[in-house]
Amino acid sequence: VAATGREQRPFAEYLLYLAKVNKRAPQASISKNGSRDATDDRELVDRARAGDQDAFRQLFQRYHRRAYSLAYGVVHNADDALDIVQEAFIKAHRYLDKFEGTSSFYTWLYRIVMNLAIDHIRKHKRARHVDFNDAIAHLEQDAPVGEAALLPKILGQNPAKSLARKQIRGQIGEALESLSENHRAVLVMRELEGLSYEEMAQVMNCSKGTIMSRLFHARKNMQKKLLQFMGGAKDLKA
């Protein structure tokens, strides 16, 4: 605790913290609105199907920001992310009749957003400039995970507060940009939408093991960069 002045966390409290994290992460966004919102969504979808444009506008108002964050996290370009969100809502409206309602509207929408974002990545991959470091990142993205470990260090400052500084934000952007598209996609799906490995494997059409490997490398690389930009301290003495 020495370096950052953090208080030593009792183990029982730590387990409670982990339990909270475990509960929260997989359901971070998809169902955080609760069942009432899901019911509302269902009603809005039914009205939109019947031609009520205002109902669809309400769905747009409700989810466009989350859809944008998801798209931006994957493609890392504001204009492309805006295009993807717009296209996703137009597609969602066009295929509203095919929405069966077995999942929430947002779950259905984010799949459309992700598919468009992944398509975008595939289309632009050939044209993308790949520098040496990025090429290395691509090579290792599906490599066995036992090659390098996580650093037992936490950030020396509050990430949320640090991000208020434009310079730090730019650096985080660079760190995210330095990841391969597949790394970014998996990281964003996990951290923003709380998807399980199985769900991510379905979205990205690959094995669960590949998802695990990509996520591990993505987190490890981000951790390394964040520690470099924001300073780190070995912490949490037992």
Partner 1 sequence: VANRDDIDLMLYLDGEELDADTRREIEAELEASSDDRAKIESLEQVGETLRTYLELQADESDAALAGMWGNIERQISSNGVHEHVPAAAAPVRRKAQDARDSDAGVWAAIGRWFDNYRGYFMTSAVTAGAVAAVILIFRQPEEKVVQRTVYQPAPAEVVPAALPSAPEVEELEVFGGSGAVLTIPGEDGEADTAVIWITPDDLEDPI
Report the interface residues with partner 1, using CB under 8 A: 9, 11, 14-15, 18, 21-23, 25-26, 28, 53, 56-57, 60-61, 64-65, 68-69, 72-73, 78-79, 81-83, 85-86, 89-90, 93-94, 145-155, 159-160, 163, 169, 172-173, 176, 187-188, 190-192, 196-197, 212, 215-216, 219, 222-223, 226, 234-238
Minimum Å distance from CB 216 to partner 1? Answer: 6
Nearer of residues 127 and 238 to partner 1, judged by Cβ = 238
Cα–Cα distances (Å) from 87 to 84, 90, 110, 196, in that order, read 5, 5, 12, 26
Q: Report yes or no: 68 and 85 within 8 Å, Cβ to Cβ.
A: yes
Q: Report yes or no: 230 and 155 within 8 Å, Cβ to Cβ.
A: yes
154: enclosing H helix or E strand: strand 153-155
Interatomic CA distance for residues 211 and 205, integer angstroms: 10
Phi, psi of 233 (to 5 degrees): -150, 135
Minimum Å distance from CB 40 to partner 1? Answer: 19
Minimum Å distance from CB 106 to partner 1? Answer: 15
Minimum Å distance from CB 66 to partner 1? Answer: 8
> Is the sign of the CA dihedral 16, 17, 18, 22 positive or negative?
positive
Nearer of residues 21 and 135 to partner 1, judged by Cβ = 21
Nearer of residues 107 and 196 to partner 1, judged by Cβ = 196
Nearer of residues 135 and 160 to partner 1, judged by Cβ = 160
Q: Which residues contact 33 (CB under 8 A, 6 or more apart)?
A: 106
Interatomic CA distance for residues 77 and 181, integer angstroms: 12
Minimum Å distance from CB 204 to partner 1? Answer: 16
Nearer of residues 203 and 226 to partner 1, judged by Cβ = 226
